[in-house]
Amino acid sequence: ASCGWLIQQACPSLEERLRLSVKLGMAIGISELGLGDSDDIYPGLYTQATLDELESLASMSNEGIGISAAASTDIDLSTRIDVEAASQGRQVLGGLADGHRDLLERQLHILLKALLNSTSKA
């Protein structure tokens, strides 16, 4: 969720420097499955349902960053980020808890500094 927020906040500043417009559909989900090993095909098969759900949420997320039902109940997410209702019963990323906002604002400043310096050299 934090990475999604950082990307969402960084895009407008980057878009000002690029010749292209940046439009993103993003969604946050959760899966309890591990990676498995190279001989095990099941984690990949079971993860596909989560990926399909995220693709569907992301394609409809012009109102913000979509959040899956499973992710919206995750205690780590819900203690740092508000989950807001959106159209069609969807849920989207809302406001950040103050301490988490401060941390992400600092990270955003570092990220933008690095990205904007690299785009000015290109």
Quote the mean pLDDT of the chain.
84
Q: What is the pLDDT of residue 90?
A: 85
Q: What is the pLDDT of residue 64?
A: 84
Give yes or no for a contact between 53 and 68, defined as CB atoms under 8 angstroms apart: yes
Q: Compute the average pLDDT of residues 41-45.
A: 65
Angle at Cα 2 formed by Cα 23 and Cα 62, nearest 5°?
30
Q: Using one digit for the tens of pLDDT, what is the confidence trace for 49-78?
A: 888 999 989 888 676 899 998 899 999 998
Q: Is pLDDT at 20 greater than 70 in this prediction?
A: yes
Closest CA to 25 of 2, 48, 55, 3: 55
Predicted pLDDT of residue 120: 61
Element (H, E) at 83: strand 81-85
